[in-house]
Chains A and B, each alone.
Chain A
Amino acid sequence: MDDTGTVVAFWMLAVITVGSALGTAAVRNLIHAVVFLVISFTGVAGLYITLSADFLAVTQVLIYVGAISILVLFAIMLTPRGDRGNQEGFLRLPAVLLSGLLAATMIFVALDTDWNISDRAGFEDTATDIGEALLDKFVLPFEIASVLLLVAMLGAIVLVRPEGAVEEE
């Protein structure tokens, strides 16, 4: 974060990310909100690139822009009367209050914390290092996560099976 290019890139990406995040909350149409959300995700991926975390950036695009957004779109399409969009409700005031408090807390923490800046050089080959770390040092959490995902997948299949499907076969 010292040369001009990185600073310019950071501010451009920050404006895109925060601006579209605000757009997500402000627009009435839910599909528009998803598009804004995707732009925000892409901005975050750009921020990762300025931090030399290229693997993380690419994964962010793959998972959030490519997959999560589609999931959200499906959720909207499958919701009855999802086309009503963001209506005004009686929870408006509490929501504004709560998000204001959350934002205040996060800003306070960000300003108050004594950030520990590492002085080690950046990783030469991020993907290899991440792969080795996952399958060597953190192999147990990695395996637990994959088993959890498998269980979730099986659960989803069991949930959508019609009643008595086994007997029919």
Chain B
Amino acid sequence: MILAKWYDFRTIANPVGELLDQLRDWGAPDWVPYVVSSVIAIVAILLWVILSVLAFIWIERRVVGLMQNRIGPNRVGPFGMLQPVADALKLLLKEPITPRAADKLIFLAGPIAIFIPTIVVFAAIPFGERMALADLNVGVLFLIAIGSINTLAVFMAGWSSNNKYALMGAMRTIAMLISYEIVQVLALLGPVLFVGSMNLGQIVGWQDEFNTWILFIQPLGLLFYIIAGAVEMNRSPMDIAEAESEIVAGYHTEYGGIKFGFFYQAEYLAGFAIAAIVVNLYLGGWTLWGLEEWVPSWLIFFAKLYGFFFLYIWMRGTLPRLRIDQLMTFAWKYLLPLALLNILVAGGEVLLWREAELSRNVALPTFAVVNFAIAGIAVVGWARVLGHARKDHRGGRATLTQEVGAVFYEGAANP
């Protein structure tokens, strides 16, 4: 029951559409509404992104503080809410230092090269009903392609700093991103197979039409995408590229002031982009089983997006950092075969659905049950095959202690 009136803010497309019609009535040439609508969308997305990043810097620090049993920022403004603003001002006013031995041109281009792709990603994302800046046919592929530019940007930053820690961080990032990109692409292929389109709007529409979320028929895909996403946005437990305890700050060791600010913000932007992709591909986008008739669709989308991003904050507060060799083994030996299996199963199901002409009420619940079963068996079974969950696993003792072969005395309190 969306009214096509300008004051109906349940889709922001309405007031904008009204404005564009008004422009056409005033006899503006064809390109004027086109340019105006793009400018409005770009400004809106930028405003949303900056406000969200500022808000989430505060939320993350407070939440992680709570999780780690400390207070977090609480001095600047009420509950420390103005802390991110103060930090942003500090970064802006700091002197931009370039190391003398650095490659000046690439050192300057690094932060720019990492910031532009992360912001361009939002162009293809539908934020609500009729609310996408660019409704691309190849939306999913576009997101993957733009995300892959990050690798080069990180390398530029790390190499140009002329610092061994920065270079190490850059090499780690490249190894990590190249490995997990494959897992990411395979995970995103599942929803695309079921929907039969790479258009993000159509993927949301499919989930709305079949009254389901792809989460239920692609649980393994979602799990793998969450993991690959954590790598893509360089977040704990996959943040070895800037592991503070090992290599200072990784690829942005030499960056200070607003140049560092760009890296910091790009990380959050990548996080929001991953969350937005998950929400659109797996969690039904801006639809919520009819609620979008009453509540603005973009509010539903943002609620899902922030909720999902909270999961990453939780992960960061909970899980310890992985070692580089563990991370690589995990990608190639564990995730990749299971992702291929997932694609095989998804392809078989789509074929079966189409060839046997099953009704959707039979097909979708069956696929959901089967896929959840396969996901559970595959995750546990493959770990067993690789020898990670041994039957003789002595619970309660740290793995390292077991491997070193520490002696435990009989009668001593079980550690």
Residues of A at under 8 Å CB distance from B?
4-5, 29, 31-32, 35, 38, 54-55, 58-59, 61-62, 65-67, 69-70, 73, 125-128
> With A62-B145, A65-B152, A67-B148 as given contacts, are A127 and B106 in contact (CB-CB < 8 Å)?
no
* Residues of A close to B106: CB separation below 8 A: 31-32, 35
* Residues of A close to B71: CB separation below 8 A: none
Which residue of chain A lies nearest to B35 when distances are taken between CB atoms in the complex?
A: A5
Q: CB distance A127 to B138 under 8 Å?
A: yes
* 11 further A-B pairs in the complex, CB-CB below 8 A; given A70-B151, A126-B137, A128-B197: A31-B103, A31-B106, A35-B106, A59-B145, A62-B141, A66-B151, A66-B152, A70-B155, A127-B141, A127-B198, A128-B196
B88 in the interface (beta carbon within 8 A): no
Instruction: Give Cα distance in the complex from A125 to B138, angstroms.
Output: 9
Q: CB distance A58 to B156 under 8 Å?
A: no
Interface residues in B107-143 (C-beta closer than 8 Å to A) = 109, 136-138, 141-142
* Residues of A close to B141: CB separation below 8 A: 55, 58-59, 62, 127
CB distance from A75 to the nearest CB of B (A): 13
Q: CB distance B155 to A61 under 8 Å?
A: no
B105 in the interface (beta carbon within 8 A): yes
CB distance from B162 to the nearest CB of A (A): 11
* Residues of B close to A4: CB separation below 8 A: 31
CB distance from B20 to the nearest CB of A (A): 17
* Residues of B close to A35: CB separation below 8 A: 106, 109, 156
Instruction: Give Cα distance in the complex from A38 to B109, angstroms.
Output: 13
CB distance from B187 to the nearest CB of A (A): 16
Q: CB distance B155 to A55 under 8 Å?
A: no
Which DSSP category, helix, strand, loop or mixed, fits chain A's interface? helix
User: Which of A38, A67, A70, A125 has a CB less than 8 Å from the CB of B137?
Assistant: A125
Which residue of chain A lies nearest to B171 when distances are taken between CB atoms in the complex?
A: A77
B363 in the interface (beta carbon within 8 A): no
CB distance from B183 to the nearest CB of A (A): 15
B50 in the interface (beta carbon within 8 A): no
Which residue of chain A lies nearest to B196 when distances are taken between CB atoms in the complex?
A: A128
Which residue of chain A lies nearest to B174 when distances are taken between CB atoms in the complex?
A: A70
Instruction: Give Cα distance in the complex from A55 to B199, angstroms.
Output: 12
* Residues of B close to A70: CB separation below 8 A: 151-152, 155, 174, 178
> With A31-B103, A127-B137, A127-B138 as given contacts, are A62 and B155 in contact (CB-CB < 8 Å)?
no
* Residues of A close to B137: CB separation below 8 A: 54-55, 125-127
* Residues of A close to B156: CB separation below 8 A: 35
CB distance from A131 to the nearest CB of B (A): 10
B144 in the interface (beta carbon within 8 A): yes
Could you name 6 residue pairs across A and B whose Cβ atoms are closer than 8 Å? A29-B103, A32-B103, A66-B181, A69-B152, A127-B141, A128-B196
The total of interchain contacts (Cβ-Cβ below 8 angstroms) comes to: 64
CB distance from B130 to the nearest CB of A (A): 20
Interface residues in B178-233 (C-beta closer than 8 Å to A) = 178, 181, 196-198
CB distance from A151 to the nearest CB of B (A): 19
* Residues of B close to A125: CB separation below 8 A: 137, 197
CB distance from A117 to the nearest CB of B (A): 24
Q: CB distance B178 to A58 under 8 Å?
A: no
Which residue of chain B lies nearest to A123 when distances are taken between CB atoms in the complex?
A: B137
Instruction: Give Cα distance in the complex from A73 to B156, angstroms.
Output: 10
B149 in the interface (beta carbon within 8 A): yes
B159 in the interface (beta carbon within 8 A): yes
Which residue of chain A lies nearest to B143 when distances are taken between CB atoms in the complex?
A: A58
Instruction: Give Cα distance in the complex from A35 to B103, angstroms.
Output: 13
Q: CB distance A65 to B149 under 8 Å?
A: yes
> With A31-B103, A54-B138, A127-B138 as given contacts, are A61 and B146 in contact (CB-CB < 8 Å)?
yes
CB distance from B42 to the nearest CB of A (A): 17
* Residues of A close to B181: CB separation below 8 A: 66
Which residue of chain A lies nearest to B105 when distances are taken between CB atoms in the complex?
A: A32
CB distance from A155 to the nearest CB of B (A): 18
* Residues of B close to A59: CB separation below 8 A: 141, 145
Instruction: Give Cα distance in the complex from A58 to B199, angstroms.
Output: 13
Q: CB distance A38 to B152 under 8 Å?
A: yes
Interface centre among A73, A126, A128 (most CB of B within 10 A): A73
Instruction: Give Cα distance in the complex from A23 to B149, angstroms.
Output: 20
CB distance from A138 to the nearest CB of B (A): 19
Which residue of chain A lies nearest to B167 when distances are taken between CB atoms in the complex?
A: A77
* Residues of A close to B197: CB separation below 8 A: 125, 128
User: Which of A5, A65, A128 has a CB less than 8 Å from the CB of B31?
Assistant: A5
Instruction: Give Cα distance in the complex from A80 to B292, angstroms.
Output: 61
Which residue of chain B lies nearest to A5 when distances are taken between CB atoms in the complex?
A: B31
